[in-house]
């Protein structure tokens, strides 16, 4: 008599083709999840992350849609749900478009909030009821230390990410009885293409008590823990990964 191996839980990581997103995808795949690596327009980058995961023995595939476009997101997720529920959602997609508020264009304000905040709703909401039927789920949103401390030139980004904190705490209360947790990971300065342009090494030493940038893998490790069974009683929390910045 043979017994079939249960299918792995599926995880969707938005913005999965970037530095932090890619590290999260690789870590979740190493933990045995089937990872849906999301990108917006750069499907080739998501495909490269998925291919590397498969080559390393994991399970992954790429998916592309604009999280800020509710209709496009819903259509893409309907296709995903045709294969079963998604039980792990990592809302990592986000963009910068920095300017002092006094000189910020309305388009800068709206696009940043569209991606980080409206994108959270467009991706998470359609997945909740199928997830709830399984009585198990993990929702992790990637925020920023800017949402806690503020940052010059980033009123739009800080507002969008801080809104995730309130939404997550509310969602945690709504879904906890169904075995679903919702938490936020708020990184500080993390090494990668974005930080390299914005933060010279000397500025990092002055800003960060740890006197260094974090790594994408350090952020991914915290996200991965929150997605495990062992983290079932951690719910509605904002966890900083910032070298002591606050």
Decide if 1 is inside a domain. no
The pLDDT of residue 6 is 75
- Please say if 233 is a catalytic residue: no
Quick count: other Cβ atoms within 10 Å of Cβ 67? Answer: 24
Does some domain include residue 2?
no
pLDDT in tens, 197-246: 667 888 889 899 999 999 999 999 999 999 999 999 999 999 999 999 97
Residue 177 in any domain: the answer is yes
Write down the pLDDT at residue 196.
Answer: 58
Which band of pLDDT confidence, cut at 50, 70 and 90, is reported for residue 7? confident
Report the residue count for the chain: 246
pLDDT of residue 70: 97
H/E run at residue 14 = none
pLDDT digits (tens, 9 = 90+) for 82-101: 999 999 999 999 999 999 99
SS (H, E, C) 70-114: HHHHHHHHHHHHCCCCCCEEEECCCCCCCCCHHHCCHHHHHHHHH
65 occurs within a structural domain = yes
Look over the chain and give the mean of its residue pLDDT values, rounded to a whole number.
94
| DSSP labels, 37-72 | EEESS-HHHHHHHHHHHHHTT-EEEEEE--TT-HHH
CATH number, domain of 166, equals 3.40.50.720
> CB of 218 within 8 A of CB of 240?
no
Identify which of 4, 3, 26, 6 has the alpha carbon closest to the alpha carbon of residue 223: 26
The encoded tokens of residue 86 equal 């998604």
Say which of 14, 157, 158, 213 is annotated catalytic.
Answer: 157
* Range scoring the smallest mean pLDDT among 6-10, 174-178, 185-189: 6-10
Closest to 110 measured CA to CA, from 155, 162, 167: 155
Question: Does residue 3 lie in a domain region?
Answer: no
Q: What is the residue range of 191's domain?
A: 10-240
Q: How many domains does the chain have?
A: 1
Helix (H, G, I), strand (E, B) or coil at 8: coil
Token digits of residue 53: 């995961």
């Amino acid at each position: 008599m043979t017994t079939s191996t249960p299918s792995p839980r599926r995880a969707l990581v938005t913005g999965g083709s970037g530095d932090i997103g890619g590290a999260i995808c690789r870590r979740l795949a190493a933990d045995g999840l089937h990872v849906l690596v999301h990108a917006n327009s750069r499907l080739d980058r998501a495909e490269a992350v998925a291919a590397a995961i498969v080559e390393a023995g994991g399970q992954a595939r790429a998916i592309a849609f604009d999280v800020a476009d509710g209709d496009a997101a819903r259509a893409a997720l309907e296709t995903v749900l045709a294969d079963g529920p998604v039980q792990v959602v990592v809302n990592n997609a986000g963009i910068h478009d920095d300017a002092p508020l006094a000189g910020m264009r309305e388009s800068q304000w709206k696009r940043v909030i569209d991606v980080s905040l409206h994108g959270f709703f467009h991706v998470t909401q359609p997945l909740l009821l199928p997830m709830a039927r399984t009585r198990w789920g993990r929702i992790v949103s990637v925020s920023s230390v800017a949402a806690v401390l503020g940052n010059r030139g980033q009123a739009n980004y800080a507002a969008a990410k801080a809104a995730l904190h309130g939404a997550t705490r509310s969602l945690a209360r709504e879904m906890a009885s169904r075995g679903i947790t919702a938490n936020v990971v708020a990184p500080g300065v993390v090494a990668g293409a974005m930080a390299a342009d914005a933060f010279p090494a000397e500025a990092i030493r002055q800003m960060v008590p740890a006197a260094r940038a974090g790594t994408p893998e350090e952020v991914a490790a915290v996200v991965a823990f929150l997605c495990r069974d062992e983290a079932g009683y951690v719910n509605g929390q904002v966890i900083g990964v910032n070298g002591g910045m606050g």
